[in-house]
Chain A
Amino acid sequence: MRNDVSYPSVMSRKSEILKHSVGIDYQEFELSPLAFDYERLMNCCGYSLSDVQKVQTDTGVGNTPLVELKNITELVRSISAPGKGGRIFIKDEKACPSGSFKDRRASLSVYHAARLGYKGVVAATSGNYGAAVASQAAKYGLKAIILQEVYDSRKVGQPEILEKTRACEAYGAEVWQMTVGPELFYIMLRILEETGFFSASLYIPTSVLGIETLGYELAQQVMEREGRFPDMVVVAHAGGGNVTGTARGLQKAGSHETVVVGASVDLRGLHMASDYDFNRKSFTTAHSGFGIPFLTWPDRTDVPRNVARGLRYLDQYVLVSQGEVFYVTELLAKLEGLERGPAGNTSLAAAIPLAQELDRDQILVVQETEYTAAGKLPSSQLTFAEENGIEVKRGDPRDNIPGKVIVIPQRVEQLQVENLDLDKIRQSYVKHAIEATGVRQPREEDILFMAEDSRSSVDFIRSVLQGIS
């Protein structure tokens, strides 16, 4: 008998569909309705770091160059206080097979799917991850279906995402180009049920384990070259996987003192599920519309428990503006001879002001770049912005208004980061945890879990809980 595919019916079968499509019974890891055993879930598929490295080496993923940005460092020093201006290095993840670090996330999940005997993989993503899944699926001879939020109701598509459609189709995937809406999850469940394919969610253990190699590699590369671990690593933050995997990899390398900074593009004020706002964004990933909600409550994804939990690992979280990212994308091409995609340069935009605070002998690593192509370029994204009524001008980036004005800085001195208060985010996390799980009277294990999950303390959680009640 064919299943009822109406919205309420499919959504009611969510747990059952996901259980079959990721091969994990999440209930096994639940400690209470609120708490779960994070490390045990993370390690449930049985892959060690060296297993992951081997899987990735087999398909040409990882071992990307670490490049010192000497000219940008010199520029930063020219505007820093005496003795200040840390050395900036960049991990050139563009060298991965499909052109971004997302290959690391896809590689282990697709390998795992093939090993478990799935015939195909499904991923709902408008970002580089789709191309990565499609590329890895091609290598393992699996079928790939990629679901993308591409168009508004006028069928006007974001150039950056249209390029991802092209890339996924180039790797032989079936691509569903959708209009705006959270029902992407519904159509994903429907297709998973129909095909019996593996759900290559961004938030399953294999996806995050795949990124650990990035943090591990960069720590080792800096150690081999400079005889020390990096002082700071700047990571573009959206759903939390990049921060989580990179920080865990740093720890596995022994780089415990490294400050991990998350950076997102500031798109505050634009609604992520709004058909109207959709094309007023010039960034489709690594922005605050994902970054903030995913920190305040990670379990809002396509799996019951998200292992990408940024708040566990972040030392600092900063926002930069769209115009600043476009500006540094130009700088990277013109000063360092590296033409790369803008979204991958979010962390570079943050690195320039952050390096000004470091001593000259300190080392900051920008942990990714991404490929560039038609659509994924400052010129195409700004042309699109203007066509959608956004003003583009030179000036002070402080005049940036998400969805209204994009300001390209006039001078490098104008680049800045806005520091978000992690304690406020932690407070919001506790409120979300209580609301989302319905646990009104958290027990000791819940409090311990929240303290660990938000990298705070039992006393901090208790004081926030008191404030709520």
Chain B
Amino acid sequence: MVKEPQNVLKGTLVQIHKVILTPEQRPEDIPACTKNVPYEAWIKGFLLDDEARIGDTVQIETFIGRRLSGTLVEVNPVYIHNFGKPQPALLPVGKRIGKRRQ
């Protein structure tokens, strides 16, 4: 998703991204599909830099007060998981059939 460059102010809740291990640094004894991609992390916290833009290397203070640095990827990150769609295969479960439920 392309984001318009915008200034993010100090104290804003943000998410940073870090590459922990490049594919070359990952151990050999893992499946190829895992070995071929970097080992990555995302962490949330409050921006410590006076201002920054998406893609900048920034410092944050995490919820427990630790300072971490990484690439700024999200501003006010949203929890996107939800209740899902109604599932036709599940809807009949527990329906009363005559005297008995199924």
Contacts and interface: CB of A to CB of B under 8 A. Distances in A.
Interface of A: 6-7, 71, 75, 78, 120, 143-145, 151, 153, 155, 157, 159, 162-163, 165-166, 169, 172-183, 186-187, 195, 271, 273-276, 326-327, 330-331, 333-335, 374-375, 377-384, 392-394, 408, 411-412
A382 B85 CA distance: 8
Contact of A274 (B34, B45, B82, B84): B34
A389 to B, nearest CB: 15
A78 B80 CA distance: 42
B31 A182 contact: no
A461 to B, nearest CB: 29
Contacts of B86: 379
B20 A183 contact: yes
B94 to A, nearest CB: 3
A179 B37 contact: yes
B73 to A, nearest CB: 9
Given A183-B39, A274-B33, 13 more contacts: A7-B21, A75-B100, A159-B82, A179-B38, A181-B30, A187-B20, A274-B34, A330-B94, A335-B101, A379-B90, A380-B82, A381-B84, A408-B93
Given A183-B20, A183-B26, A408-B93, A177 B42 contact: yes
Contacts of B80: 162
B44 to A, nearest CB: 7
A374 B81 contact: yes
A211 to B, nearest CB: 27
Contact of A143 (B64, B83, B90, B101): B64
B66 interface: yes
A contacts with B: majority SS? mixed
A144 B63 CA distance: 9
B81 A175 contact: no
Tell me if B's interface is mostly helix, strand, loop or mixed: loop
Nearest to B30: A273
B40 interface: yes
B89 interface: yes
Contacts of A276: 31, 33
Interface in B67-88: 79-87
A163 B37 contact: no
24 contacts: A120-B64, A144-B64, A151-B42, A169-B63, A173-B64, A176-B41, A177-B43, A178-B39, A178-B40, A182-B30, A183-B26, A187-B41, A271-B31, A273-B30, A275-B31, A276-B31, A327-B93, A331-B93, A333-B94, A374-B83, A377-B83, A378-B87, A379-B84, A393-B89
Contacts of B100: 75, 78
A71 B21 CA distance: 53
A197 to B, nearest CB: 10
B5 interface: no
B25 interface: yes
Nearest to B15: A177
Contact of B64 (A172, A271, A274, A384): A172
B90 A330 contact: yes
A374 B41 contact: no
A237 B97 CA distance: 34
B26 A181 contact: yes
B57 interface: no
Nearest to A178: B41
B12 interface: no
